[in-house]
């Protein structure tokens, strides 16, 4: 997994792994969730990939849009 840059300094996201149709998120708590096209939809997964690479806004996006849409 790639370490999340956490540019805000307040994110609960620790690291991530990007796949073709999913993103796997490891939170600071140690919990790991996989979000996929199947459950969260391609639009949201692609947005999450962009935010993960940017290092900013991913945790907020998850909480607002896909919180319980993990596999």
Q: What 3 state SS string does 7-41 have?
A: CCCCCCEEEEEECCCEEEEEECCCCEEEEEHHHHC
Q: How far apart are the first and last CA of the chain?
A: 18
Give how many domains the chain has, as a whole number.
1
**Rounded to an integer, what distance in angstroms lies between the CA atom of residue 43 and that of residue 29?**
26
Does residue 44 fall inside a structural domain? yes
> Can you give the residue range of the structural domain that contains 9?
2-66
The per-residue pLDDT for range 26-70, each reduced to its tens digit, is 999 999 999 999 999 999 999 999 999 999 999 999 999 999 999
Please report whether residue 16 resides in a domain: yes
Q: Which H/E stretch holds residue 2? A: strand 2-3
Within-domain flag for 71: no
Evaluate whether residue 10 is within a structural domain: yes
pLDDT of res. 34: 99
Confirm whether 42 is domain-assigned: yes
Q: Give the pLDDT confidence score for residue 61 in this predicted structure.
A: 99
43 occurs within a structural domain: yes
**Does a structural domain hold residue 20?**
yes
In a domain, 56, yes or no: yes
Q: Name the pLDDT band for 9 (thresholds 50, 70, 90).
A: very high
């Amino acid at each position: 997994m790639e370490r999340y840059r956490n540019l805000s300094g307040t994110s609960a996201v620790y690291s991530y792994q990007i796949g073709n149709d999913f993103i796997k998120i490891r939170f600071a708590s140690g919990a790991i969730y996989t979000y996929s096209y199947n459950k969260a939809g391609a639009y949201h997964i692609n947005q999450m990939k962009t935010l993960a690479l940017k290092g900013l806004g991913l945790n907020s996006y998850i909480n607002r849009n896909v919180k319980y849409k993990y596999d």
